[in-house]
Structure 1
Amino acid sequence: MQNYQKKALPKRIILIRHGESLGNVDEKIFEITSDHKIPLTPAGMEQAEQTGMEILNMVSEQGKSKDWNVYFYVSPYARTRQTLKGVGKAFPKNRVIGVKEECRVREQDFGNFQDYEKMRELKEIRNRYGTFFYRFPEGESGADVFDRVSSFLESLWRDIDMNRYPDSNYSDNNLNLVIVSHGLCIRIFMMRWFKWTVEQFELLYNPKNAEYRVMELGQGGEYSLSIHHSEETLQAWGLSSEMIADQKWRAEGEGEGDEKRLWNCDAFFDSLAESDASENENGEAN
C-alpha cells in the first residue's frame, strides 16, 4: 500500500461500532434470532445519534469548514444499518456523497442460532486459546476476519486511487470515509492497516457501543490515531508504548515509506550483531 502515499488521500477514516443492541442486553436472544437480524435498543439509537453529532462537529471543524463531505461503508447487519441511520441524522443531505453496504466488514461469525450456555463455555475457551486464532464451531476465527478485512482494504485503496466517490475532489483532503462495523472487526481493521502483530492485537480492547476510532491523515501522508485521540486514550484502548510511538511518528513523520522505517526486530530475534562480521570498526569491508 506504500505506493499510494504520495497521492491525494481522504482526510479521515472513521471506524464506528454499532450502538447498543438487544444482543448486548440479552445474550439469550441469539438462541431464537439470527445474529444479523438483532436490532438496536432505543438507547443504542440515542448513542448513534450522539455519535453522529460528534462526528459532524469534527469533520466540519465545529461548523467553520465549508469544504467537506462524507462517504459511508456499512456492515449489512441490522444493528449497523440502524446505527448508520442514527449517525446520518446529523448530516445535511448534500454532504453525504454515497453509501455502500460492505459484507466484508460484518460481525465475526459465531455459528447460527447460539445456545446461551454453550457460547459462554466457548468464549471462556477462546479467552484461554487466544482471540485471534480461536475458531468457533461452524463460525470464524479472528484470523478468518483478518483475511476478509484484508480483501476489503485492497478494494478500499482502489476506490481511493481511482476516486470512485461521486462529487468528490479530495485533493484538498475534504473527504471523510466512515465505516460502520463491529468491535472485533474494527480491531482487525486497525491491525491490518498499521501492521500490528498478533501479540499486539491481543492487547487491544473492542470499542464500546457507538464508540469510534479516528484515523486522520498526518503531515507526511500517513494515517494516525494520535492526531484526534490523546495518548491516555490510546493507552486505555490497550496500545503499548511502542504502538503509541508509531502513531506519533505517523502523525508527524515526513512520509518515508515502510522500507525506510526502523522496525523493532528484537521482538523476533534473541540478538542481532550491530554490523556484519566482515566489516571493520569503520564500516569498511575487511
Structure 2
Amino acid sequence: MIIVTGANGKLGRAVVEQLLKRVPAEQIGVSVRDPNQAQALQERGVRVRRGDFDEAESLHHAFEGASQVLIVSTGIMGEAGIPHGIRQHQAAIDAAKKAGAGRLLYTSHIGASPTSHFAPMVHHAATEELLKASGMPYTSLRNGYYAAAALMLIGGAMTTGELIAPEDGPVAWTTHADLVEAAAVIISEQRYDGVAPNLTGSEGVDMEGIAAIASELLGRTIRRIIVSDEEFRERLMSQGVSEASINMRLGMFLASRRGDFAQVDSTLAHLIGRPPVSIRDVLKESISHRQR
C-alpha cells in the first residue's frame, strides 16, 4: 500500500488525486491529523487513518501495511536547536521502517543544502541525511521553487506599480500541479534511488523578469526597485512583519542571489510528458483572475 502523509494539505491531497488516476484506490492510504477532513477520500476507497507526526503510535497505525511512504515535509521550522520539523520527519522515518515499508519518499527542494541562506533548505538537507542514515531505500524529490511564491512577491506590486526587494537571482519557478503529477509517476513507477534530479520549470526568471512579464500582461509598468538588505528589513519592520518572517524572506533573496534556485532540468518535462507550466502562464492566470 502507498501511504501519503499530510493528505489534507494542498500538496499531499493533490498527490493522492494523481495517484488515483494510476493505481486502484484500495492500494492508497493516507495519514492525516483529522480523518474527518479526508472523508471524501474514504468514500472513494482510499484508506484513511489518523497520523500525527508528534505521536509515534498514531504513525505506526497509519503506516500499517505500507509498501511505500511519501513524507510530505511539515514545513515547521521550530526554535533554536533541532527544528521541530526535523524531529517530526525522523519520527515518520522511524515509523515507516517499523511498519516494514520498502521505500521512503520525501518532498525536498532544489537548493537543499546545509549551507543555504534560506532556512527551509537547511532543514531539507538535514532530512535527506536522516533518509540516508535510515538504511532504507529512499527517493528525495527535489521540487522546484513553487511558482505560488512568485505571486506573493509580485502581488502588492500589481497595485502599487513598484516591486521593491533586495537583489536576487533567477529562479526555476515550478507549479504545484506539475510537481504532484511528477510525484505520482515517480511513486507508481518506483523511479529514482536517492536524491532525484531537480524537478523544475523550463527557465529561470528573476524579479526583474517577473516585473517585465507582469507589466506586459497588465498593460502598465511594474518597476523593479532594488534596495539593500538592511533597507528591505527596515521596510518590513515598519509594516509590522515579524523578525522570523523577515529573516525567511531575506534568506530567499540571498539564496537566489547565490544561484541556489536557478538550475533548470528537463526531468520534470519528461515525467509529465509535456513542457512544465511557465511563470508567464502562472502570472497570466493570476492577473486574469484578479481582473474578473
Question: TM-score when scaled to structure 2?
Answer: 0.31
Max Rg structure:
1
